[in-house]
Amino acid sequence: MTLVNVQLESPRILVKGFLIDVDVPSEERLMMHVDISALPGYKHVDWVSSLQDLLRRIDSEFRAERFGDGGTVASKRSVRVKYVKGEDGAQRKVAAFHPYPSTLVNRLKTIRHEVYALLNKYCLVLQEEKIGRARRKLYFLPAGLAADLMASIEEVNEKMRILAKEVAEFEGSVWFNEIMERVSEAIEIEGGFKAEVSPVRVSPVPLTLSRQFFAEYLAEEEKKALAEVEERRRAGLAALEREVEQRRREMLESLERDLKARIASIMDAAQKAVEMILKGERASVQALARQLGDLKRLVEGVGVEFGEQLAALGSVLSHAASKDIKGLKAAVSELAESVGIVPSGSLEVDLKAASLAMQGKSLLLTTID
């Protein structure tokens, strides 16, 4: 991975923003789990098969009514059966499926992907941990981008409210009653079944990574300890100072790693795109330029300013998008010169040399106050 040496114009930076904890409803909210242990022998196989046929037919009818496609044959509908041990130690057969049309389930998937795309656009990854097969990320949202993210989340939640309304309407339909009747052949569900499609929740916690904030706090507490002539308290403050500074540096290093990975990814993609254009092939340069714009806005939100290298990279992408080979050659030469490389006149050679030269001096750690 190519790391990028970003020139910094601000002498000291105060990093302020929010820790983001996001709750995004998943398609699991639309899933039903039915204990079919009471079905005798292999009758559960017939029940599962008939339920799949019913779900597939309802999918087709729902699409025909919604989109007027004449009842196109629906894709396969799955009903997964797994064995689960209950609290009493007995093994149970449980069928899991979505009793809602695929179009509604897929809408929820799309909304979920949209939320995570917004988080990647406006936030930096502060921490990532693996929980079972899933990965949980802790996001840092720069203060200057908080309003933009929340406005986008409001737009997403409007889509979620519309989806929740459509899910509730389907629960009152003849189709849903058919499904519940089929379910009742295996087990009686008291009170029926209703999905909970709740809004996306973003819980921002204010955070500053400024050394000044912690220094002022520790200085004040140290005065109190001296006034109280309390050696144990002073020792505790010294330990706190060490731990706070270590954690602060770890968080800054996490932000730096995420920034470098994103910049390096754009550099690598730009190099490949230029190579494709020179071969006469199509390349999605415009999408790459949008990514660079989003990244620039994100990093400036943290407080780091781009230097001439990334400005030159933007020029490279601009000329690549218009397939202006002469302008592209000049832009690549400018990029090479900005990192101290004497241009050779070869687009491929100069661009690769510039990528290799842009190695990662600290983006944040030498400039954060």
Same domain, 193 and 239: no
- Asked if 92 contacts 83 with a C-beta cutoff of 8 angstroms, the reply is yes
Residues 269, 57: Cα–Cα separation, whole Å? 45
Residue 179 shares a structural domain with residue 82:
yes
Query: Which sign, positive or negative, has the C-alpha torsion 1, 360, 363, 205?
Result: positive
Nearest to 32 by CA among 199, 200, 187, 198: 187
Residue 125: phi and psi, rounded to 5, are: -85, 120
- Say if 241 falls within a structural domain: yes
For residue 173, what are the domain limits? 25-199
Q: Do 50 and 189 fall into the same domain?
A: yes
Give the pTM. Answer: 0.74
For tokens 């912690």, the residue is: 214
Is residue 16 included in any domain, yes or no?
Answer: no
Q: What is the pLDDT of residue 317?
A: 85
Residues 153, 239 within the same domain = no
* CA–CA distances in Å: residue 323 to residues 132, 223, 289: 47, 65, 14
My answer on whether 215 and 186 are in the same domain is: no
Q: What is the pLDDT along the chain (369 residues), one digit of tens a residue?
A: 333 444 434 444 556 788 888 888 888 899 998 888 888 767 888 888 898 999 999 999 998 888 776 545 556 788 888 888 777 777 888 889 999 999 999 999 999 999 999 999 989 888 877 766 667 788 888 888 888 889 999 999 999 999 999 999 999 999 999 999 998 888 777 667 888 899 998 888 887 776 666 666 666 666 665 555 466 656 666 666 676 677 777 777 788 788 878 877 887 888 888 888 877 777 778 888 888 888 878 777 776 655 567 778 888 888 888 888 888 888 888 888 877 788 888 888 888 887 777 655 555 544 555
Decide if 66 is inside a domain: yes
Cβ(171)–Cβ(196) below 8 Å:
no
Name 187's Cβ contacts closer than 8 Å, sequence gap at least 6.
34, 35, 36, 38
127 & 246 share domain: no
3-state percent breakdown (helix, strand, coil) of the chain, nearest 5: 55, 15, 30
Residue 12 included in any domain: no
**Strand, helix or coil for residue 18:** strand
Question: What is the count of structural domains for the chain?
Answer: 2
Are both 177 and 49 inside the same structural domain?
A: yes
Which of the 8 DSSP states describes residue 37? T
33 plus 177 within the same structural domain: yes
Cβ atoms of 41 and 80 within 8 Å: the answer is: no
Domain boundary among 174, 199, 224: 199
Q: Do 102 and 220 share a domain, yes or no?
A: no
